Amino acid sequence: MTDDRSDECRRIVRYLADVHRANPQAEVSIQELTFELLIDSEATRACIEQLAHEGLAEADLFPTNVWVRLSEKGVTVAAALNP
């Protein structure tokens, strides 16, 4: 999470961590992230791709529909982020 979108990506990680605490198997759609976090879909997709590349998230990156959840590494990183 070291690029220009790091704040947006941190917000996404925190949101995914909240979802993970409620249900570790739950996946979140890109639409839900853009709506709940008020981040445009292009930036949200870029963050998801970055998080997946860094091993912090598991994502199905379909052209029109994206689903994501934190990996175990992502859960660990999320726990270290300030609220």
**Per-residue pLDDT at 57:** 95
Q: What is the pTM of this model?
A: 0.88
Query: What is the extent of the structural domain holding 25?
Result: 6-80
> CA 31, CA 72: separation in Å to the nearest integer?
23
State how many domains the chain has.
1
Q: Is residue 18 part of a domain?
A: yes
Tell me: the pLDDT tens digits for 8-59? 999 999 999 999 999 999 999 999 999 999 999 999 999 999 999 999 999 9
**Per-residue pLDDT at 2:** 47
Q: Which amino acid, one-letter code, is at 55? A: G
Q: Is residue 47 part of a domain?
A: yes
**Per-residue pLDDT at 11:** 94
Check residues 47 and 65 and name the one with the higher pLDDT.
Answer: 47
Q: Is residue 1 part of a domain?
A: no
Rounded alpha-carbon distances, angstroms, from residue 76 to 10, 42, 56: 13, 26, 9
Residue 3 in this model has a pLDDT that exceeds 80? no
CATH code: domain of residue 33:
1.10.10.10
